[in-house]
């Protein structure tokens, strides 16, 4: 059985279809044994893909924008969608059943500073008549440090990806008041990427068959059954919180049967990044998005 090396930019229940592919036996049925790892600043996805140390990675089309802005050719392309909605939430320290986006103005907010969630939060506020520049942004560090800072009493709101907000709610530290994903249309948010050369391989074909089936089952299976399959990869998350998070993402229509990255979702991504100022022009889809090649 051949080993297929898969790396993730971020690791959470938001990427359930990929976690299902890895833990649900789909790859083994096609002669592939998955090896899963998490990228770090010292061991990034790009280096591993270009060296051949990994075959594919969980990433985002927007990752390619920095190179495209510099006028460089992108050797790594995004070939399948994972999430077609933003998966971040805003959690308030004090419950607010009548939350308005303008309530954030003047408040201390722990904001995830990774380029994409940062850009989409700004865009969501803009669409809802609120001024991102009027919030008191706190950069508390990485995902774990942000969570700990909020639990320690810092900030009136925190901006996180599931299942962290659901866990905060269960532990009594706050209440989810908004979903960024509900604020605008489907977007090319999270993806699978690889080199163009690997996409021509038989392994790529086998992986896509497995991934398509895993996505189908993610949509069809109840959240508790999915949670039982992927729990070993998320052992630090309470089982009931994991079920709630998966169910929340299902209701949001985060995962969709069509795993292609379509033009509409890519155009929506461009709107977000042009608004944020992270890109200076609308980069052609063909420069960073590709389907499997025969």
Q: Is 236 exposed, middle or buried (0-12, 13-18, 19+ CB in 10 A)?
A: exposed
CATH topology (fold) of 2-84+186-287: D-Maltodextrin-Binding Protein; domain 2 (3.40.190)
- The ranges assigned to domains in the chain are 2-84+186-287, 88-183
Residue 158 falls in which region: left (phi positive, over 0), alpha (psi -120 to 50) or beta: beta
With H, G, I as helix, E, B as strand and everything else as coil, classify residue 106: coil
Dist CA 72 CA 93 (whole Å): 44
Look at residue 95 in the predicted model and tell me its pLDDT: 87
Look at residue 294 in the predicted model and tell me its pLDDT: 31
Q: How do the residues of the chain divide into helix, strand and coil, expressed in percent and rounded to 5?
A: 45, 20, 35
Look at residue 177 in the predicted model and tell me its pLDDT: 97
Tell me whether domains 2-84+186-287 and 88-183 share a fold. yes
What would the two tokens of residue 70 be? 């510099």
One of 2.40.128.130, 1.10.10.10, 3.40.190.10, 2.10.25.10 is the CATH number of 88-183, namely 3.40.190.10
The alpha carbon of 38 is separated from its chain's Cα centroid by a whole number of angstroms, namely: 14
- Find where tokens 């790594």 sit: 76
Dist CA 236 CA 238 (whole Å): 7
Helix axes 16-23, 223-230, angle to 10 degrees: 60
Q: What are the distances in angstroms from CA 262 to CA 81, 213, 215, 268, 269?
A: 9, 19, 16, 10, 11
Look at residue 291 in the predicted model and tell me its pLDDT: 63
Per-residue pLDDT of the chain (294 residues; tens, 9 = 90+): 999 999 999 999 999 999 999 999 999 999 999 999 999 999 999 999 999 999 999 999 999 999 999 999 889 999 999 999 999 999 999 988 899 999 999 999 999 998 899 999 999 999 999 999 999 999 999 999 999 999 999 999 999 999 999 999 999 999 999 999 999 999 999 999 999 999 999 999 999 999 999 999 999 999 999 999 999 999 989 999 999 999 999 999 999 999 999 999 999 999 999 999 999 999 999 999 986 443
With H, G, I as helix, E, B as strand and everything else as coil, classify residue 82: strand
Q: Is 257 exposed, middle or buried (0-12, 13-18, 19+ CB in 10 A)?
A: exposed
């Amino acid at each position: 059985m051949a080993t297929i090396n898969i790396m993730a930019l971020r690791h959470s229940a938001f990427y359930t279809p990929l976690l299902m592919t890895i833990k649900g036996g789909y790859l083994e049925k096609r002669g592939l044994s998955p090896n899963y790892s998490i990228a770090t600043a010292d061991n990034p996805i790009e280096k591993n893909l270009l060296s051949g140390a990994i075959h594919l990675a969980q990433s985002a089309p927007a990752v390619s924008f920095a190179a495209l802005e510099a006028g460089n050719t992108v050797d790594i392309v995004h070939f399948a969608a994972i999430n077609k909605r933003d998966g971040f939430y805003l959690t308030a320290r004090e419950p607010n059943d009548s939350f308005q986006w303008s309530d954030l103005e003047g408040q201390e907010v722990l904001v995830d500073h990774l380029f994409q969630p940062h850009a989409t939060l700004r865009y969501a506020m803009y669409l809802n008549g609120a001024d991102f520049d009027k919030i008191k942004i706190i950069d508390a560090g990485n995902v774990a440090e942000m969570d700990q800072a909020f639990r320690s009493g810092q900030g009136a709101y925190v901006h996180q990806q599931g299942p962290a907000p659901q866990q905060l709610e269960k532990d009594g530290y706050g209440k989810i008041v908004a979903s960024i994903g509900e604020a605008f249309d489907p977007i090319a948010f999270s993806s699978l990427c690889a080199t163009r050369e690997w996409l021509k391989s038989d392994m790529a074909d086998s992986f896509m068959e497995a991934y398509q089936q895993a996505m189908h089952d993610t949509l069809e299976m109840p959240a508790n059954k999915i949670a039982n399959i992927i729990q070993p990869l998320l052992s630090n998350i309470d089982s009931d919180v994991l079920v709630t998070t998966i169910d929340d993402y299902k209701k949001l229509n985060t995962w969709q049967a069509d795993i292609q990255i379509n033009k509409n979702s890519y155009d929506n991504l461009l709107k977000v990044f042009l608004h944020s100022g992270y890109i200076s022009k609308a980069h052609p889809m063909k420069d960073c998005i590709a389907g499997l090649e025969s």
